[in-house]
A and B are shown apart, each in its own frame.
Chain A
Amino acid sequence: MSVIRHFVKKEFRQVFRDKQMLRMLLIVPIVQLIVLGNAINLDVKHVRLAIFDHDHSEVSRDLLSRFRSSDYFDIILADQSKLSALMDRGKIDISVVIPEGFARDLGSGSTAKAQLIVDAQNSNLAGIATGYVNGVFGSFQEDFRNRMLEKNPDIKSKIHSVEVVSRVFYNPEMNTYFATIPGIAVLLLTIITTLINALNIVREKEIGTLEQLMVTPISKFQFVMGKSLPFAILGYIELAIALAVGMLWFKIPFAGSFLLLAFSAALFLMTTLGAGLLVSTVAQTQQQALFTAWFFLVFCIIMSGFLTPIENMPTALQYLTYLDPLRYMIKVTRGIFLKGSTFFDLKYELAAMAIYGTAMFALAIFRFRKSTT
């Protein structure tokens, strides 16, 4: 035990002596959380919309003003002949053309048509923007029908109205921070703990102290624990920083149990620290370690469902995401953070993380034993 304690002391001494490292560990995550928390915003706002009104009626002007008053749209004034050129240059995202006779068709009860042209280069944006436009048309139609009913109550029987009332749970203001901050916190935890362990051990390999350690009577297990414990503690510090930024800066309420989050983090850290150790057994230089670790990290981040919903992926790839440890940790962290999920709510995710953590750590120790003799 005393050997491990001395190891922990030594690692902390080295970390705290390295001012550059300390900045990386303590300040960079705060900056990243604040910057990325604001940057990664999956809401679509300020869609650049061009409206061409050929009807010039009271009805069409009403429709226009509805678009103007929505903060999802920035209205672009343009000449219709230049529409396609403007869209090519990326100046317009979406355009609505209201043809002549729009009000007349609507009043006469026949179908009134309007044209919607969308730049679908970014299909995500295009889909959401189309939804917004349809939403505006929907409410416009609803109001129009109500006005018609006031004037002419007889037609009521002819109009069937279905009203969908949505209620949003857990994040009623549909605040994107709520989803992104716990996600970014997990990403930071993953990147820092995987890389720090891999780079630290490979650095000992590079400067030759690893061989020096191998001729001392310490066991491989003591070595691995001596390395992993201090970095696990650092991982908790990172997590605490991320929570503090999320709660104090972004004002996200923490609904669940800190203890459960700490427990989940322990399982997860076994995976990331084990992965770091595993990388250190194949890499000879810090550069190799960085590239190897980064390759897997990018893969895990993309597949985790953090940026794009897993449901949007092809079915085969959706199964692949079950192999991604981040998938579970992000879900668990969001669950505990936003919903106050309990141990039993998350039992499958926690079980997966426990299996993952144990397997990864065991494999890493096995590989490490082999690589050093």
Chain B
Amino acid sequence: MSTSSPMIAANDIKKTYKDTDALRGINLSVSRGEIFGLIGPDGAGKTSLMRILCCLMSFDGGTATVAGFDVEKQSGEIKKRLGYMPQRFSLYPDLSVGENIRFFASLFGVERDAYQTRFAELMQFSKLEPFINRRAAALSGGMKQKLALSCTLIHTPEILILDEPTTGVDPISRFEFWEMLRKLARQGVTILVSTPYMDEADKCDRVALIHKGNILAVGTPSEITQEFKHSVLEIEGANLFDLRRDAETLPSVVEVHLYGDRMHIVTSDIFRCQGELQAKLGISLESVRKVAPSIEDTFISLLK
């Protein structure tokens, strides 16, 4: 296989559950060594798409290849080259760290010598070495995630598919986890990762924004935000709900996005907007600053 052909390719994938269209014609292409992010809210179709690519679920239309093999016909070849971490990665809580990894290695048919080298590598990589004999049930959330990744990596897969790997993991472990993914990508591993966290999108090489079974946009994080034609003003503070309602009534405001204690006001005319904010809502110029549109802003505007 040449390096230019995609490691993951989906053409017009459709999936229908009883009465809902989970995927409405998904096209996707991921190159070798790329970290590709699937960004979208719950129910967007991320998990369905990933399960189809892992040969775990049948689909109703389109074709897909992983590592050049057909998802429907060559699942055996794909499974040898693929590491999949479901949203709720599951380990045997009553087995130790070492036993879990050893068991998965045996399922992938990893030879003894290769296993010993790989195991040592992974222990160093994941910093799990001191916990080899600890039961998986007794690990912290972040460590569980690292063990899960180690189990997924034990057979040195060419492709990793990770479904919301950092959901429910503390910020430091999240940061370390992404560092690990970056290292893997540098080694040539192709990574398809989904996340509901918009800030993680910036850590991907390319992302696809997915919503209700459709891909809204694909590109590098900066390409995606460049598609955003408006400017963004940010206001920080508490109790922004009332302010949001008032701001939305201003003529120069296109839309308002609220992110906890930050509010993004989207406008096509910054100066007019700042004037209106000051005149009508009494907000001083100092408390408003212009920021670059985030992927989140782009995503929300694309939804509207």
Contacts and interface: CB of A to CB of B under 8 A. Distances in A.
A168 interface: no
Contacts of B79: 215-217
B48 to A, nearest CB: 14
Given A3-B109, A10-B95, A215 B55 contact: yes
A373 B86 CA distance: 16
Interface string B87-117: 0111111110001000110111100000000
Nearest to A18: B94
Contact of B90 (A6, A208, A217): A208
Contact of A10 (B76, B80, B103, B109): B103
Interface centre among A3, A211, A216 (most CB of B within 10 A): A216
Contacts of B151: 212
Interface in B38-62: 54-58
Interface string A216-228: 1110000000000
A209 B82 CA distance: 16
B93 A215 contact: no
A212 B87 CA distance: 11
Contacts of B108: 216-217
Contacts of B80: 217
Interface string A292-303: 000000000000
B88 A215 contact: no
Interface in A181-228: 207-209, 211-218
A217 B86 contact: no
B2 to A, nearest CB: 25
Interface centre among B54, B79, B94, B106 (most CB of A within 10 A): B106
A178 B258 CA distance: 78
A209 B92 contact: yes
Contacts of A17: 94
Given A213-B107, A215-B79, A215-B84, A207 B55 contact: no
Contacts of A10: 92, 95, 99, 103
B82 A215 contact: yes
Nearest to B56: A214
B107 A209 contact: no
A65 interface: no
A13 B100 CA distance: 12
Contacts of A217: 76, 79-80, 107-109
A209 B147 CA distance: 14
Given A14-B95, A207-B90, A208-B89, A216 B56 contact: no
A6 B95 contact: no
The B interface, classified by DSSP as helix, strand, loop or mixed, is loop
What is the size category of the interface that chain B forms with chain A? Answer: 20 to 34
A212 B86 contact: yes
B99 A13 contact: yes
A373 B99 contact: no
A18 B93 CA distance: 11
A286 to B, nearest CB: 15
Contact of B86 (A3, A18, A208): A208
A108 interface: no
B54 A208 contact: no
Contacts of B104: 212, 216
Nearest to B51: A211
A145 to B, nearest CB: 75
Contacts of A215: 54-56, 79, 82, 84
A169 B95 CA distance: 53
Given A13-B99, A211-B56, A218 B107 contact: yes
Interface in A1-35: 2-3, 6, 10, 13-14, 17-18
A172 to B, nearest CB: 51
B113 to A, nearest CB: 15
Contacts of B107: 3, 6, 213, 216-218
Given A207-B90, A208-B86, A212-B89, A3 B106 contact: yes
B106 A2 contact: yes
B88 A208 contact: yes
Interface centre among B56, B58, B76 (most CB of A within 10 A): B56
B109 A6 contact: no
A211 B94 contact: no
A55 B95 CA distance: 80
A213 B92 CA distance: 11
A208 B88 CA distance: 7
Contacts of A208: 86, 88-90
Contacts of B76: 217
22 contacts: A2-B106, A3-B107, A6-B103, A6-B106, A6-B107, A10-B95, A13-B95, A18-B94, A207-B92, A207-B93, A208-B89, A209-B90, A209-B92, A212-B151, A215-B54, A215-B55, A215-B82, A216-B104, A217-B107, A217-B108, A218-B107, A373-B56
Interface of A: 2-3, 6, 10, 13-14, 17-18, 207-209, 211-218, 373
Given A211-B90, A212-B89, 7 more contacts: A3-B106, A13-B99, A14-B94, A209-B91, A212-B90, A215-B84, A217-B80
